[in-house]
Amino acid sequence: MDGQRGRDREVADRVETLARPVLAAMGLELVDVVYHGGPSRGLLRVTIDKPGGIGHEDCAEVTRVIGTQLDVEDVVPAAYTLEVSSPGLDRRLRRPEEYLKYEGRLVKVKTTAQVCMGRLVGVTDGEIVVRLESGEERRIPLKDVVESRLMVEMGSSQHSHRG
């Protein structure tokens, strides 16, 4: 990992540590934190969710609460723009508990060696299991996943999931 990316990840990790309990107390889930330091101004993206979905008022409230706390704690090392949003219908999946939450949904999983689309069967022993259209089940080690996203399915309830 190069120097800037490493510093950006450290900032994102500090923001996540600060934000997770605050958001939990507000009844919200912290989905992701990404920070990109820039030459004059950084960009901090905080992605949140809750059962039933996120509205503009949720984003505005989190921006106010988290923004104030970040400024007081001086977590971000330079001037930055804070963006708070919902994960969207094609949300990224990163942690094992997210894969469990969306079992049965259509996913697209990219590794350095392949791209795989199919139904998410689950997570076992550090691997995600995807059932391809052919019926074959593919086991993909979590450590090999470069990116994994839910796929938008027309004609189905996009908000139905466990939890």
Query: What are the pLDDT digits (tens) for 128-142?
Result: 999 999 999 999 999
Residues of the chain with pLDDT under 70: 1-2, 155-163
Assigned architecture for domain 96-150: Roll (2.30)
Which residues sit opposite 44 in a β-bridge? 35, 82
Give the pLDDT confidence score for residue 162 in this predicted structure.
42
Tokens read off for 78 = 């330079």
Give the pLDDT confidence score for residue 2 in this predicted structure.
66
Tokens read off for 61 = 């409230």
Residue listed under structure tokens 């190069």: 2
Which residues sit opposite 49 in a β-bridge? 29
Give the pLDDT confidence score for residue 159 in this predicted structure.
44
Residue type at position 56: H
Give the pLDDT confidence score for residue 112 in this predicted structure.
87
Residue 101, H or E segment? helix 96-101
Domain boundaries, the chain: 3-85, 96-150
Q: Tell me the pTM.
A: 0.72
Q: Which residues of 36-52 are buried (b: 16+ CB within 10 A; e: fewer)?
A: bbeeeebebbbbbbeee
Which residues, 6+ apart, have CB-to-CB distance to 98 below 8 Å? none
- Quick one: fold of 3-85? GMP Synthetase; Chain A, domain 3 (3.30.300)
